[in-house]
Amino acid sequence: MEPKNGKISPEDPSPEALLDLYSYQLPPEAIAQFPIEPRDASRLLVLSRSAQATTHRHFRDLTDLLRPGDLLVLNDTRVIPARVFGRKIPGGGKLEVLLVRDLSTGSAEPGPSSAESCRPAPDEPGTWEVFLRATGRKRPGQKADLGEGFELELLEPLEGPAWRVRIRGPQPVSTLLSRVGHVPLPPYIRRADTPGDQDRYQTVFARTPGAVAAPTAGLHFTPRLMEALTARQINKAWVTLHVGPGTFQPLRRSDLGRGYLHEEVFSLPKETVAAVHQTREAGGRVIAVGTTTTRVLETCALSRGKLRAATGTTRLFIRPPYEPRIVDLLVTNFHLPRSSLLMLVASFAGRERLLSAYAEAVRLGYRFYSYGDAMLVLS
């Protein structure tokens, strides 16, 4: 039994029971720790809901699976080197900081899908929301040396691992990141980042800096594949959604109860809106590359097949029995159990059908999560 209208009512399953419906067993060795080369050599599980069948291809076969006149919509966000290491002052205890959001630019009011949010007055320059790990106690007023002349001061704890902090230094924080920042690999990749990750944990079409996690469905594309898609008259359009660390956080009871998620900043340009409308009018299909792209398109949907251009933030929580209004097909990676991303994909594939496909992927040795293999969900 799924929740009604995206929120839990008294007759719905408890939050814990609902999450259990989206659980599956994954052996640790199935979690990809390194990317495959070349990018488009990754495997592609093709799931057809109407045919109740799965087939097994490679990502480079995407040109054969799509039709001339189809439209691929991709997320062009660029991952920033947002992880910084420092030492507490005094004492020298270790500190790890993941920069999440510059609060000096303001933050959006809570809401389910605030495409044009009102923003409160920005915070003092140098004030950030961060995820923080440190040895010993963490308390307001604690300071840390981040190197390159930059100092961090803890201001107040926020929700979960988040803190409000102030960062001071001789130059903009972007300079600190460019000099000592590390690629923010997801927590299930249990190794230190390497110089190769600076390129590989980035799509080949990344151009708009701001994400602290990659839009992983886009990691499988190569320049050669992009050219082959163009040659087959498969069109492309772009959105931007800056993926935040909330994408890796476990779902909470409060998320399920209120029916919306962590906030992420996005932009849907008018050129993409026009491309979607033209594709629809010509009888083509709209294929979202990734859950991030799906979230943007569905946030900005006016009605079935109709969009509006917008720039703002979204907290949209897509889960069954949600009916997608813009996206026809979905390209996506394999997602964590009990996660909002798994629920989103279930809105396209059906929960039981999706979990059956996941079990098949585990049995056949597919590689899971960010550096893993991919799926194409057909209607």
3-state SS, residue 227: helix
Q: Provide the residue type at 328 as one letter.
A: D
Q: Give me the pLDDT at residue 265, please.
A: 93
- Per the structure, the complete domain to which residue 261 belongs is given by 15-79+196-378
**CATH number, domain containing residue 144:** 2.40.10.240
Q: Give me the pLDDT at residue 125, please.
A: 81
DSSP state of 108: P
Q: Are strands 150-157 and 143-147 parallel, antiparallel or unpaired?
A: antiparallel
One domain for residues 121 and 262: no
Phi-psi map region of 106: left, alpha, beta (phi>0 left; psi -120 to 50 alpha): left
For the chain, what is the domain count?
2
3-state SS, residue 158: coil
Entry pTM? 0.90
**CATH number, domain containing residue 325:** 3.40.1780.10
3-state SS, residue 330: strand
3-state SS, residue 75: strand
d(CA 134, CA 11): 42
pLDDT digit string (tens) for the chain, length 379 residues: 566 555 555 456 777 788 899 999 999 999 999 999 999 999 999 999 877 789 999 999 999 999 999 999 999 999 999 999 999 998 889 999 999 988 887 543 334 445 544 344 567 889 999 999 988 889 999 999 999 999 999 999 998 788 999 999 999 999 999 999 999 999 999 999 999 999 999 999 999 999 999 999 999 999 999 999 999 999 999 999 999 887 777 787 777 888 888 889 999 999 999 999 999 999 999 999 999 999 999 999 999 989 999 999 999 999 999 999 999 999 999 999 999 999 999 999 999 999 999 999 999 999 999 999 999 999 7
Q: Would 165 be classed as within a structural domain?
A: yes
Beta-bridge mates of residue 153: 143, 166
Q: Would 285 be classed as within a structural domain?
A: yes
One domain for residues 258 and 339: yes
One domain for residues 245 and 286: yes
Contact 144, 95 (CB under 8 A): yes
d(CA 362, CA 30): 7
Each residue of 27-76: pLDDT tens digit?
A: 999 999 999 999 999 999 999 987 778 999 999 999 999 999 999 999 99
Rg for the chain (alpha carbons), in Å? 21
One domain for residues 172 and 53: no
